[in-house]
Amino acid sequence: MGDKTDVWQGTLALMILKTLETMGPQHGYGLARRIEQTSGDLLQLNYGTLYPALLKLEQEGYVRSQWGTSDNNRKAKFYELTKAGQKQVRRATADWEQTTEILSRFLSPAEEA
């Protein structure tokens, strides 16, 4: 791997984890909507890509899922963060902030000696 989708996969995973952290347990559709909204509708998200990503996070032990009922009284599968997931959010956030910070130094160069 190591191509564009991988980066995308990585960021998507972080988006999912962060959303779950702020919103608590959420089903796939809700997550998709929320991610779109948070991005200020700048992100054209194919909702379907969410499910393999969720499965991967589940296999890695960062999220767990169980069936529940939605606000509209509909049966849906809810995803929530595990302990390992919470740790991963912190770690990934720190990593990402560092990456963007480094990149931003390149993109907006300040006058330096």
Partner 1 sequence: MSSFSAKMRAFLVRLRQSVRRRGNASEFDEELESHIAMHTEAGIAAGLNEEEARRQALMKLGGAEQVRQARRERTSLVWLENLLQDLRYGMRTLMRAPGFALTAIATVGLGIGACTAIFSLVNAVLIRSLPYGDAERLVYLFTPNPNLKIPAEVICPAYGDYFDIRRESKSYESMSNFEQAMFSLNERGTNQRIGSARVDEDFFHTLEAQPDLGRAINSDDVQAGREKVAVISHALWMSMFGGRPDVLQKSLVLNKNSYRIVGVMPAEFEYPLGSDMPYGNSEIKSTQIWVPLVLTPQQRAAREPNNNETIARLRPGVTVRGAEAEMTGIMARLDKEYAGDPNGELGPIRQWGALIRRFTDMSIGPVRPLMRLLLAAVGLVLLIACGNAANLLLARAAERARELGVRTALGAGRGRIVRQLLTESMLIGAAGCGLGVGLAYLFLRLLPKLDPGNIPRLNEATLDWRVLLVAVGAALFTSLVSGLLPAWRASRVEPTEFLKSHGAQGDSRGHSRVQSGLIVAQTAMVVVLLAASGLLIRSYVKVVNVDTGFSHSTVTFNVNLDERYSKPEQQVSFFRQLTAKLNALPGVNAAGAVNNLPLTNSESITLMWVEGSRNTEFQQAEARYVTPQYFSAMGISLIAGRYLTEDDYVRKAGVTVINKRLADLYFPHQNPIGARISTNREADGWKDFNTVIGVVGDVRHVSLEEEAQPQMYYGNYQMNGGSVAVRTTLPSSVISNEIRSTLKAIDPQLAMTDIRTMGDLVSLASARRRFQTSLLTAFAGIALALALVGLYGLMAFSVNRRTREVGIRMALGAERGDVLMLILRNAGVLVGAGLVMGLACAWMVTRVMRSFLFGVSAHDPATVISVSALMIVCGLIAVVVPAKRAASIEPMQALRTE
Residue 90's φ and ψ, nearest 5 degrees, are -65, -45
Binding site for partner 1 (CB under 8 A): 10, 13-14, 27-30, 33, 46-49, 51-52, 55-56, 59-62, 70, 72, 74-77, 84, 88, 91-92, 95
**Minimum gap (Å) between residue 69 Cβ and partner 1:** 10
Q: Which is nearer to partner 1, 29 or 38 (CB)?
A: 29
**Minimum gap (Å) between residue 77 Cβ and partner 1:** 5
Q: How far is it, in rounded angstroms, from Cα 4 to Cα 19?
A: 22
Nearest to 7 by CA among 95, 86, 102: 95
Q: Which is nearer to partner 1, 1 or 110 (CB)?
A: 1
Q: Which is nearer to partner 1, 5 or 22 (CB)?
A: 5
Nearest to 65 by CA among 18, 103, 9, 26: 26
Nearest to 7 by CA among 82, 100, 91: 100
Q: Which is nearer to partner 1, 76 or 80 (CB)?
A: 76
